[in-house]
Amino acid sequence: MPNTAEILVDTLIAWDVRVIFGLPGDGINGIMEALRTRQDKIRFVQVRHEESAAFMATAYAKWTGKLGVCLATSGPGGTHLLTGLYDAKLDQAPVLAITGMQFHDLIETFTQQDVDLTRVFSDVAIFNTQVTDAAHMENVAGLACRSALAGRGVAHLSIASDVQEQTAAKRSPRNIPRHTPERWFEGDKRPDEAQLALAADILNTASKVAILAGRGALHAQAELERTAELLAAPVAKALLGKAVLPDDHPHVMGGIGILGSLTSQEIMEECEALLIVGSTFPYIEYYPKPGKARGVQIDRNAERIGLRHPVEAGLVGDAALTLQLLNERLKPKQDRSFLEDAQQSLQRWRKMMAEAESRDDVPLKPQRVVKAFGDRIPANAILASDSGQNTELAARHVDIKAGQDFAVSGSLASMACGLPYAIAGGIAFPGRPVFAVVGDGGLAMQLGEFSTAVRYKIPLKLLVIKNNMLNQIAWEQMMFLGNPQFACELQPIDFALAAEAMGGIGYSVTRPEDVDGVLDAAFAAEGPVIIEAVVDAYEPMLPPRMPDEYRKNMRTALRQTPGRKEIEANLAREPLKTMMG
């Protein structure tokens, strides 16, 4: 007769879970044994920190659309999962977190690692329970999987260490064995017909339609292309939707927001109607002002309709099906001047970006090396980014091509996500090349996970932007509040040497004339590689158009900010001079 841990693992296998990310501990010894005896059916990927396990489970769910699973021991093992699980919650990724507990009869007695993880996880999880025995596990294991997938969020099972090894005792009379199927069911998510008609009327009537596409449109690329063509609509992409359409697509105007293009900002300011597809991009100031543009939004979650913009037509449904139905009602626009004007604007923006990407200055400009890195990424690549100035660099200077995938911590925007995301991509898609652009601040937080990439032979090329600064924070201190940069300097780490110490390969580049040679060598190398680019710490990160308040704050802050002369010299050169206004 199987014990509780075996029932859990067998249920996961039945739910088509093939990978679990985690770290062993005495609070989950029973589960580890069940995994050991079933390792031909389910893979355990050992990480160096439980936070990474949760990030990897979240990224795995984003990369594949399947259930991501992470496992941690009792007490601190479980609490370490929280950051990665909030990433799943905020970006609506289906993840199951499994945690151990102390012996069931010592709970709440101040014993070692006596943390009630169900209470701790009460905010992050949509399904959250402590498993009482093997018969209980038969019911809740499948329900946890179903809840995570159906609710696109976090489910949590907490299991006392001794309960894991118990076999089913006498069950309650209503708990009939095998009364639930090991699968979940989902309808076709058709939107309301009246809302479809209203949406079509709004979009057909407006002469200038813009589209904002997010991660929810990833599986609707063909339908989205058709919509954009019918409406002669320029498309702005939220960061999570960077791979929805390739960056060289004639309708794509780049990213939106502080990391985006000026063209995307312009089309939001000038459009008469906005179609939002699978996005709740959080920065409300970059949307059309309320009353300026009529709104249509497509989202599978009714709760998300109207979060950022006062939409008139809310289409609750699957993006691909909804766009297909909407397209049948749209009339091709004869006047394509709004799109054509946006395309001309984008050419001017790209020319500005090319100026930054081609600079031969010393210290090395980060745009130069990121552009060269992105140009070498093959068409079937997986690309991850971390959170910080490196995110802006990846968003603006790496052009996503057709067939490539991209992921990042979106709404949570957590540092230290980039390397775990990349590893999860390599685990999810064996054989596909994996790339990441990260910062020295975020990489240092989970640097040990590079050894995980080495252990599992992930074909990873990781570019770390090394400026020995928390650079995004520094510019935010200056732009947002007018405060001088403070406490953002970092103690330097030799990341290339660290890569070698962990069994990988490390390269370092400091001068523009060496960029191509170093990248060529790194891309030709087998196995995990860290490419350390030592760049100008005083290269500002600016929004596409500097708001007056930000400009005033920056000038005030510079008076007392270390490196003032170097920063002002950079601001006096293009394209930053134009962006400053």
Q: How confident is the model at residue 574 (pLDDT cuts 50, 70, 90)?
A: very high
Segment 132-141, tens digit of pLDDT: 999 999 999 9
CA atoms of 530 and 93, how far apart (whole Å): 28
Position 103 scores a pLDDT of: 81
CA atoms of 532 and 519, how far apart (whole Å): 10
Name the burial class of residue 169, with classes exposed (0-12), middle (13-18) and buried (19+) by CB atoms within 10 angstroms of its CB.
exposed
Q: How confident is the model at residue 110 (pLDDT cuts 50, 70, 90)?
A: confident
Rounded to 10°, the helix 548-558/564-571 angle is 150
CA atoms of 217 and 321, how far apart (whole Å): 11
Position 542 scores a pLDDT of: 93
pLDDT at 413 over 80: yes
The DSSP call for residue 538 is T
* % of the chain with per-residue pLDDT over 70: 100
Q: What would the mean pLDDT of 147-158 be, rounded to a whole number?
A: 97
What residue segments make up the domains of the chain, in order of their start? 4-165, 193-343, 359-579
Dihedral of CA atoms 510, 513, 518, 521 in degrees, nearest 10, equals: -170
Contacts of 189 (CB under 8 A, 6+ apart): 300, 316, 317, 318, 321, 322
According to DSSP H, which parts of 206-331 are helical?
Answer: 221-231, 262-270, 319-327
CATH superfamily of 359-579: Thiamin diphosphate (ThDP)-binding fold, Pyr/PP domains (3.40.50.970)
Segment 443-481, tens digit of pLDDT: 999 999 999 999 999 999 999 999 999 999 999 999 999
CA-nearest of 412, 398, 378 to 465 is 398
> Looking at 196-249, which runs of residues are DSSP E strands?
209-213, 235-237
Residue for token digits 């040497």?
497
CA atoms of 143 and 543, how far apart (whole Å): 45
CA atoms of 248 and 257, how far apart (whole Å): 19
CA atoms of 404 and 78, how far apart (whole Å): 34
CA-nearest of 324, 313, 467, 451 to 389 is 467
Dihedral of CA atoms 360, 366, 368, 373 in degrees, nearest 10, equals: 150
CATH superfamily of 193-343: TPP-binding domain (3.40.50.1220)
pLDDT at 168 over 80: no
Position 338 scores a pLDDT of: 98
Position 40 scores a pLDDT of: 97
* pTM of the predicted protein model: 0.96
Rounded to 10°, the helix 471-481/389-397 angle is 100
CA-nearest of 291, 276, 515 to 397 is 515
**Helix or strand or coil: residue 100?**
strand
Position 330 scores a pLDDT of: 98
Position 233 scores a pLDDT of: 98
Question: Phi then psi for 205, rounded to 5 degrees?
Answer: -75, -40
**Domain pair 4-165 / 359-579, same fold:** yes
CA-nearest of 23, 15, 10, 7 to 66 is 15
pLDDT at 98 over 90: yes
CA atoms of 49 and 446, how far apart (whole Å): 8
Position 182 scores a pLDDT of: 77
Position 444 scores a pLDDT of: 98
Q: What is the mean pLDDT of the chain?
A: 95
Alpha-carbon distance values, 360 to 4, 224, 372 (Å): 62, 39, 13
Q: In CATH, which of 3.40.50.2300, 3.40.50.720, 3.40.50.970, 1.10.8.60 is domain 4-165?
A: 3.40.50.970
Position 113 scores a pLDDT of: 80
Q: How confident is the model at residue 108 (pLDDT cuts 50, 70, 90)?
A: confident
Q: What would the mean pLDDT of 83-103 be, rounded to a whole number?
A: 96
Q: How many CB atoms lie within 10 A of CB 157?
A: 26
For residues 342 and 253, the answer to whether their CB atoms sit within 8 Å is: yes
Segment 194-232, tens digit of pLDDT: 999 999 999 999 999 999 999 999 999 999 999 999 999
Position 107 scores a pLDDT of: 78
Q: What would the mean pLDDT of 345-366 be, rounded to a whole number?
A: 96
Position 5 scores a pLDDT of: 98
Token duo for residue 341: 């004007």
Position 508 scores a pLDDT of: 98
Looking only at the bridges linking them, the beta strands covering 313-316 and 273-277 are unpaired
Q: What would the mean pLDDT of 346-354 be, rounded to a whole number?
A: 97
For residues 52 and 420, the answer to whether their CB atoms sit within 8 Å is: yes
Alpha-carbon distance values, 180 to 141, 142, 146, 368 (Å): 11, 8, 11, 56
pLDDT at 174 over 90: no
Position 180 scores a pLDDT of: 78
Position 104 scores a pLDDT of: 83
For residues 145 and 184, the answer to whether their CB atoms sit within 8 Å is: yes
